[in-house]
Structure 1
Amino acid sequence: ASRQLRPLPSSVDWVREGAVAPVKNQGDCGSCWAFAAAGAIEGAAYLASGRLRSLSEQQLVDCDLRDFGCDGGLMDNAFRYDHVRGGLCSEEEYPYTASKGTCQKTFFHDSCENVEATQVSGFEDVDPQSTPALMEALLMQPVAVAIEADERTFQFYRSGVFNTHCGNQLDHGVLAVGYGTQGGSDYWLVKNSWGPDWGEQGYIKLVRDPQMDAEGGQCGILTTPSFPIV
């Protein structure tokens, strides 16, 4: 798609705009993909309806048969599930257990309250290996991204702009919620699902450097960004 050549704002922060639910903890379950996808849908639904609801990752873990519960999955598959299923239940209606269970929402009449507001009509894959493309997408809404998160330096991140070597072997789904500059370093603002005690209240700032575009950006963040359309 052709992009309008307009100057991008120097920062975007969907947390500050109220489009991001509180940080959650996936626990001992490889369900990061569900947290990233649910977070992206939460943001899109908020921007469409003005109402922020924390959505059910457990529904995706239990019911999304294109993905593998606690053994991994893809955010785009979760968006497909949401589209076909007609939306997601809230966290309260279908709470998280950190293990794969029997799907409680097999039939369409097993519905939850206001579920239609969280139904996506589709999703869009952002042009990969492009800092400007992800910035453009983040102007509109939070974006699901995959990164490599197995480096110890990443796992023990505390604060600041993370610019140490990270790799690009994607193994973790997270939610990009903005970008900005701190202390002269440009960054992507990313919401993790390792609880609020990790990083900066559950968030990490990944260095944002167009010179890294060809290798997928810091930790591979530019490799497979996508967002749902509500």
Structure 2
Amino acid sequence: MEGINQLSTGKLISLSEQELVDCDISGEDQGCNGIGWNLQLHMQPRSLALTKQPISVAIDAGDSDFQFYSSGIFTGQRGTELGHGVIVVRYGTIADGTKYWMQRDIDVPEGLCSIAMESSYPTAT
């Protein structure tokens, strides 16, 4: 929400995770039990959305390789137990042809840890 707000208004504001819970007025998300992932967005091309704004994704961060990861492109075990939400801010290809998704402070190659299996992103008009 911070990213799309900055892109649409030109002002970067800091919102807490509580803001998402407080804004859950329709009860569709899980409130204090966690924010649900919007499964309808499987039909939307994520790389297209990412050219316009950051997107949130769920990843498998349970493996010790991932938990002790510190820098560079992650090349550890791939998993499908999605339980950790992150913000993807960029994607691209490095000089050797390796594709990657860049999360806040973490670089993960495209598709690793099932990063693009469930994603969601806000829109602003």
Asked if Structure 1 and Structure 2 have the same fold, meaning a TM-score greater than 0.5 normalized by the shorter chain, the answer is yes
* Secondary structure, aligned partner of 1:229: coil
Which segments of 5 or more consecutive residues in structure 2 lack a partner in the other structure? none
1:74 offset after TM fit, Å?
1.4
Identity %: 40
Instruction: Return closer, same or farther for 1:218/1:229 CA change in 2, 3 Å cut-off.
Output: same
Aligned partners of 1:206 and 1:50: how far apart in 2?
A: 28
Q: 1:205 aligns with which of 103, 107, 110?
A: 107
* Secondary structure, aligned partner of 1:140: coil
RMSD (Å), alpha carbons: 2.2
In structure 2, give the amino acid aligned to 1:67. Q
The reply to whether residue 142 of structure 1 matches residue 54 of structure 2 is yes
* Secondary structure, aligned partner of 1:60: helix
Aligned partners of 1:153 and 1:51: how far apart in 2?
A: 37
Q: 2:4 aligns with which of 44, 49, 53?
A: 44
1:67 offset after TM fit, Å?
1.4
1:43 offset after TM fit, Å?
0.8
- Counterparts in 2 of 1:51-70, with a 5 A limit? 51-61=11-21, 64=24, 65=27, 66-69=29-32
In structure 1, give the amino acid aligned to 2:82. L
Instruction: Return closer, same or farther for 1:59/1:141 CA change in 2, 3 Å cut-off.
Output: closer
1:140 offset after TM fit, Å?
1.1
**1:110-129 CA distances to partner (integer Å, 9 max, x unpaired)?**
xxxxxxxxxxxxxx72537x
Instruction: Return closer, same or farther for 1:57/1:151 CA change in 2, 3 Å cut-off.
Output: same
1:142 offset after TM fit, Å?
0.5
In structure 2, give the amino acid aligned to 1:207. P
Aligned partners of 2:37 and 2:83: how far apart in 1?
A: 12
- Counterparts in 2 of 1:53-92, with a 5 A limit? 53-61=13-21, 64=24, 65=27, 66-69=29-32, 71-76=33-38
1:220 offset after TM fit, Å?
1.3
* Secondary structure, aligned partner of 2:51: helix
In structure 1, give the amino acid aligned to 2:101. W
Aligned pairs, how many?
Answer: 119
Which segments of 5 or more consecutive residues in structure 1 lack a partner in the other structure? 1-40, 77-123, 192-202, 209-216
- Counterparts in 2 of 1:29-40, with a 5 A limit? none
Q: TM-score, normalised by structure 1?
A: 0.47
In structure 1, give the amino acid aligned to 2:43. D
Aligned partners of 1:51 and 1:75: how far apart in 2?
A: 26
* Secondary structure, aligned partner of 2:121: strand
In structure 2, give the amino acid aligned to 1:218. L
The reply to whether residue 172 of structure 1 matches residue 88 of structure 2 is no
Aligned partners of 2:116 and 2:54: how far apart in 1?
A: 14
